[in-house]
Structure 1
């Protein structure tokens, strides 16, 4: 199978399609959210329905537009480790989709959730769209095209040091995994201006791209949480790496993203030895 290079796909067309798909997914989320008032089903069942309806709308639209592309969403990856979700070398372009990022917020009607759609081609993340239906904010980027919010260019912040930085993180559901991040939270709180925990990985990355947050780190993600956001951060002039400072890989569980100016300092704080 010949290796698909990015020149063979029209990035602008893919970006426009991703935006439309994100809007279609969000319509489903908002339709289901209105049904939450009618408590015939448990919230857990409703969120499963909402998630599934959003993913189906996105998948139908994107594969309708690009029938030879692959699709990777949460449903395709049930029971798999993150590495097992990596597309094989030479695979066609893969849409990497989180139809509802910030599920717990959504269930409690906290307006911090979104649809995240990324495109992965020839081993590179090339398109990223994150749409927040409650604020009607469409964060959008493609490789070499820059990043925008509702069509206006966005850039990362110019905060020069961790001391003046607003930094966010995400905690995994699993308690044992939370303990590692609580230790990181303790270390970063000591050095930074303030920390946030919003409950949506994709929005955290979009906010770094938009200059709202100066940095973000996390240890337990899947590709659909981070791939679109990584494109946004890079195209907005920021820096994104794995948690140990090695090159970013969406099919690894850990990452650190920032405005670039605080990247090495933030990595240093995260990787300093814990006090016993």
Structure 2
């Protein structure tokens, strides 16, 4: 059993780390340098500064904890695989210092700081902080999900036709085309679709009932680590796109309000033409 008091302490630390990182992002706006990790996949000085601050703060608070951040993570250049954390790994903070870097670079106010905690073989704490809207989405296992301290829940929508879905596209244009076909397929079956540029905010919005579902095929664990606990604690459902048990170290995900999950899976199991 996880001690609620301990989880609350971890959650408060993640919130504070996110707030401090937001100050860094604000200070770096308009003066950062941009480079490409790969074509169209951007990283800035602000990403690095944000991650450095978060890591220092959390490791000072919890010296025995591990840390996995997007910047500097060891990804196989050929397979694009990231070695999963074992179930018996020490508590490990998983951080995206700016989720939605392209938005940040272009001063589009839709980016965030995402922090999750891997503990006893699963994600147990999640924080997604949108500094431009001053919205702190936070959750810990068994303690519910909140937005700025107030409880949030997934939407009551019960049919795909009534729903608003969001998705994400990878920077690589070849891999991106796969989801273009799925976008077309969901367009025919939903009320509306959105592409925001931030996985973590997409998942936070599912938790808050703003979006009814989110799907994607190309996420790393730091993209989802803050949002997984949010969706679960808000009453939602998360699986792989084939309906299998969710693994945050796999690339694909479908996160929904639960009520339309089966309907989403039906669409995803029927590949569109030209996939």
Q: Identify whether the pair has TM-score above 0.5, normalized to the shorter chain.
A: yes
Q: Label 1:52 to 1:63 Cα distance change in 2 as closer, same or farther (>3 A).
A: same
Q: Distance in 2 between matches of 1:208 and 1:77?
A: 27
Q: Label 1:230 to 1:8 Cα distance change in 2 as closer, same or farther (>3 A).
A: closer
CA RMSD, Structure 1 to Structure 2 (Å): 1.8
CA contact (8 A) 2:92 2:117 kept: yes
CA contact (8 A) 2:115 2:128 kept: yes
Matched, 1:23 2:27: no
CA contact (8 A) 1:187 1:270 kept: no
Shift of 1:34: 4.1
Number of the residue aligned with 2:49? 53
SS at structure 2 position matched to 1:249: coil
Q: How does 1:224-235 map to 2 (within 5 A)?
A: 224-235=222-233
CA contact (8 A) 1:139 1:147 kept: yes
SS at structure 2 position matched to 1:140: strand
Shift of 1:179: 1.3
Number of the residue aligned with 2:197? 199
Number of the residue aligned with 1:257? 255
Q: Distance in 1 between matches of 2:74 and 2:29?
A: 24
Q: Which runs of 5+ in 1 are unaligned?
A: 37-41
Number of the residue aligned with 1:241? 239
Q: Which runs of 5+ in 2 are unaligned?
A: 37-41
CA contact (8 A) 2:74 2:82 kept: no
TM (norm. structure 2) is 0.93
Residues 96-115 of structure 1: CA deviation (Å, up to 9, x unaligned): 00000000000000000000
CA contact (8 A) 1:77 1:85 kept: no
Q: Distance in 2 between matches of 1:182 and 1:273?
A: 12
TM (norm. structure 1) is 0.92
Number of the residue aligned with 1:123? 121
Residues 120-141 of structure 1: CA deviation (Å, up to 9, x unaligned): 1121110000000000000000
Number of the residue aligned with 1:106? 104
